[in-house]
Amino acid sequence: MQALGLHDDVTARLRDALRDASRIVVFSGAGASAESGIATFRDPEVGLWRRYKPEQLATPQAFLTDPALVWGRYGWRRRQVAAAQPNAGHLAIAEWGRSREVSVVTQNVDDLHERAGSADVVHLHGEIAKARCFDCAAPYPLTPEPEVEGEGPMSVEPPVCGQCGGLVRPGVVWFGEALPEREWAEAKARCRRADLLICVGTSAVVRPASLLPRLAWEHGAAVVQVNPHPTEHDEITEFVIRGTSAAILPRLLEMATAS
Ligand code: BV8
Ligand code: ZN
């Protein structure tokens, strides 16, 4: 079984926290989808997109400057998501949710938590499978991305809104844009009442989402950090597990549910 790299006494306290938890929040970032083959934000880009930092294209200004480049980028990412499968980490979280109250609060815009079977998923940064008009916000139904050779085109003209003629944009939250009010309020409410928060696959760089683990901790939750690399969130817990989501989360589920 995958060792967690913790001292025995810490492992014993972790086991108790996992077993005793009844209101669990899983706070996930791009690392939770990495083992499904979806690039994270801060791993270096490869292929066609290697010349761009993701943040450069994830802003309203970038879209207005070059709508076709940004729409092409999201088309490439939608294809990546459509070709991906939930990994063992997503599946363990969904399995956990069948025997305990587990809320997934995710920064990710893919639907892998839902496809793994998680029923309660809050998307803080929107969903890449959704789109809306940039001007009047009318929802725009997306058809599945056509199969393409290789990475496909970089520049693709975005559709035009049927209501007002505005440009259609991805249904995600860009840098400089406020998080959706309902989802942000739901996420904070879940973190305040949680008795356990599993923080998985996030670099803790992006605000205000990265404030949530500390909010849960300040309200008495035990926090578990699952990340191959150190982040700011290591400071609020002794349960720092240097490992990947697909390797570690099934192990945590076993500890939580072992009789
Ligand atoms: C807002 C959707 C205000 C789009 C995203 C200066 C200082 C502090 C803050 C700011 C600042 N300047 C600007 C800000 C605010 C800004 C911000 O935080 N910027 C950062 C870059 C400094 N935030 C905003 O703009 C937010 N809005 O503040 O609004 C406001 C209020 C009222 C009215 C108007 C405005 C909006 C932020 C949302 C941006 N949109 N995504 C899209 O997807 O294209 S954020 C984007 O980053 C993704 O959602 C991503 O999930 C998220 C966070 O990144 P991570 O998920 O953590 O991913 P990352 O690649 O960074 O890290 C991966 C981690 O996984 C690593 O730690 C790695 O070690 C680990 N890992 C790798 N493999 C694995 C693994 N872990 C486990 N298993 C593995 N296998
Ligand atoms: Zn419109």
Burial status of residue 103 (CB atoms within 10 A of its CB: 0-12, 13-18, 19 or more): buried
Average pLDDT value for the chain: 94
Residue 129 to residue 106: CA distance in whole angstroms:
15
Q: Where are the alpha helices (DSSP H) in the chain?
A: 8-20, 31-34, 54-57, 60-65, 67-83, 88-96, 112-116, 181-193, 212-218, 245-257
Residue 204 to residue 234: CA distance in whole angstroms:
10
Q: Which of 90, 113, 123, 125 is catalytic?
A: 125
97-150 pLDDT, tens digit each: 999 999 999 999 999 999 999 999 999 999 999 999 999 999 999 988 777 777
Name the residue at shortest CA distance from atom 60 of ligand 1: 41
41-87 pLDDT, tens digit each: 877 777 777 788 878 899 999 999 999 999 999 999 999 999 999 99
Beta bridge partners of 25: 103, 197
Q: What spacing in Å lies between the alpha carbon of 207 and ligand 1's midpoint?
A: 7
Beta strand 126-133 with 168-172 is antiparallel
pLDDT of residue 233: 95
Residue 185 to residue 182: CA distance in whole angstroms:
5
The 3-state DSSP class for residue 131 equals strand
pLDDT of residue 56: 87
User: Is 125 designated active site?
Assistant: yes
Name the residue at shortest CA distance from atom 32 of ligand 1: 178
Residue 14: φ, ψ to 5°: -65, -45
148-179 pLDDT, tens digit each: 777 788 899 999 999 999 999 999 999 999 99
Ligand approaching nearest to the C-alpha of 174 = 1
In short, whether 109's Cβ falls inside 6 Å of ligand 1 is: yes
